[in-house]
């Protein structure tokens, strides 16, 4: 039997959604989660998540531009040299992507030169 003098216990409220660090890192997986975070509350109200989302979108666009520029040089330089250069560029972009993801998971913000300034402006805050 229950004791009538004791008030019924309220269930504890559960936290819904992702943590700030998880959402920041997830924004870098592709540009799609970044766009979703910019469009949905409560993520679009967090300046840190907005910064990482904008930096992710800009990094995605910049990496496409770099890859297209490298691929346009194939006929000029030669296939063997461009194959190696393409590999180096791809590994460099991957390393940079890995660096921003690891920093986002740890609650830090690695600012990619040029891109970070634009991302901070779009996010409306400095990180």
Q: Using one digit for the tens of pLDDT, what is the confidence trace for 1-15?
A: 555 566 555 444 345
For residue 42, cis peptide bond before it (omega within 30 degrees of 0)? yes
Provide mean pLDDT across the span 103-126. 91
The structure's pTM equals 0.80
Q: Using one digit for the tens of pLDDT, what is the confidence trace for 48-103?
A: 999 999 999 999 999 999 999 988 887 777 778 888 888 999 999 999 999 999 99
Measured CA to CA, the distance from residue 77 to residue 80 in angstroms comes to 9
């Amino acid at each position: 039997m229950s004791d009538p003098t004791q008030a019924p216990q309220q269930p504890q409220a559960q936290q819904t959604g992702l943590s700030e660090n998880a959402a920041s890192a997830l924004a870098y997986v592709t540009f799609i989660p970044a766009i979703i975070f910019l469009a949905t509350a409560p993520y679009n109200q967090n300046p840190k998540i907005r910064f990482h989302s904008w930096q992710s979108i800009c990094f995605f666009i910049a990496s496409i531009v770099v890859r297209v520029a490298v691929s346009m040089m194939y006929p000029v330089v030669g296939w063997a040299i461009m194959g190696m250069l393409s590999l180096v560029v791809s590994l460099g972009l991957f390393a940079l992507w890995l660096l921003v993801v690891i920093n986002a998971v740890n609650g830090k913000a690695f600012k990619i030169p040029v891109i970070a300034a634009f991302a901070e402006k779009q996010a409306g805050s400095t990180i």
